Structure 1
Amino acid sequence: MSTILPLFWDLSSANKRHRIDASAKLIGALEHFQARFTPKSDISEPASEEDDDGEAQASKDDGLDALNATDVSYSIRRLVRGLASPRESSRLGFAVALTELLSRIDTITCSQIVSLILDSSKTHGSMTGQEERDALFARLFGLTAVIQSGLLVRNTPLSTSASSAPAASSLAGYREVITELVALGEKKSWLRESAWWTIGLAIDALDESEVSWKDEAFESTLETLFVDNKLWTPEKIALTLKLQKYRPARDWNVLMSPTFKHPHVLSTGNYSALSRILKVRPPV
Structure 2
Amino acid sequence: MSKRKRLRLFGEILLYAVVILFLLLAIFPLFWMAVSSIKPPGLVFATPPVWSFTPTLENYAAALGSGGRGWGADMPRYFLNSTIVSVCVTISNLVIGSMAGYGMARYRLGRDALPLIFLFGRMLPAMVLVLPFFLIVKNLGIGETPLSLILSYTAINLPFCVWMSWSFFLDFPNEIEEAAQVDGCSKLQAVVRIIIPLASSGLISIGILVFVACWNEFLFASTIAGLSTRTLPVAASLFITDEAILWGPMTATCMLIMLVPALITIFLQKYIVSGISMGALKG
Structure number with higher helix proportion? 2
Q: Name which one, 1 or 2, has greater alpha-carbon Rg.
A: 2
* TM-score, with length taken from structure 1: 0.29
* TM-score, with length taken from structure 2: 0.29
